[in-house]
Amino acid sequence: MMWSRKISDGIAYHYHADAGDSVDEKATPIVFIHGVGLRAESWHQQLSVFSERYRCYAVDMPGHGDSDLLPNPILSLQDFADVLTTFITNVVGKPAIIVGHSLGAMTALQTAVSSPKVVCGVAALNAIYERPDEAAQNVQARAASLIDDLTQNVTDQPIARWFDGNPKYRSEAELCQNWLDEGNRLGYARAYQMFAHLRGINAADLKTITVPALFLTGELDVNSSAKMSLAMADLLPHANAVIVPDARHMTQMTHASAVNAALARFFAQCDSAHTVNA
């Protein structure tokens, strides 16, 4: 197992490749992008599995983990996509499969739309699409509150939504609670404000994605619903949707086996597509 932590242009990331240096350059790179308030370590159950075959990178997005804030106080999804594009170009060095969760999923999709040359596959976990007005208003109210008071409790509401007090996921809930409590409050508030005003990638832009795509969410995730993932998958010719039974928002942590099985199938699909197109 090989771990290293590096900083590139203010962005912190983990690099993980068990395949060894002799196979490393040939292995498909995979870049994992976390959601709002979280950090690269939220992918630990995927990194430990997929680094045996792939070059795996897990990025702390701006204002999260050990990464610097972006200078602009009002962020757009394109800002995050630009950071990811620069990271893949300068650090990864070749087109990558991007796996994103929540806001990370939206960043992954936006990158596939605006910078298709750096993407050879995109997996969007717990993404939003055509977010209803009422849901958007609720999220925007929380976002405004976060900006107005950076000292407030930022853990209770998301932890309750994500885990519903299920003792089976106590360790996962505690990890997320620690990341939220110890994270950069301003970075969290700015990213959440940007996420709150997203309705999703519009259909016309989604249809420009030509690489293999996976849309996965939890059956019980109300805000990133199964209906949303199924609708997005229906728009693309090389897309599949996977709905994980009994899962909520933190699927990659609470239902890692099901998520990893779906990702393994998807990565094989990407490898096959790359072989055909090579």
Catalytic residues: 102, 126, 249
Measured over the CA atoms of residue 264, residue 259, residue 37 and residue 79, the dihedral's sign is positive
119-125 and 3-8 as β-strands: parallel, antiparallel, unpaired?
Answer: unpaired
Handedness of CA 265, 271, 275, 278 (dihedral sign): positive
C-alpha triplet 97, 40, 271: angle, nearest 5°: 15
Residues 6+ apart with CB under 8 A from 30: 50, 54, 55, 56, 57, 96, 97, 98, 99, 267
Integer Cα distance of 88 and 70 in angstroms: 18
What separation in angstroms does the CA of 28 have from each of 97, 131, 220, 251, 261?
8, 33, 32, 24, 18
How far is it, in rounded angstroms, from Cα 231 to Cα 221? 15
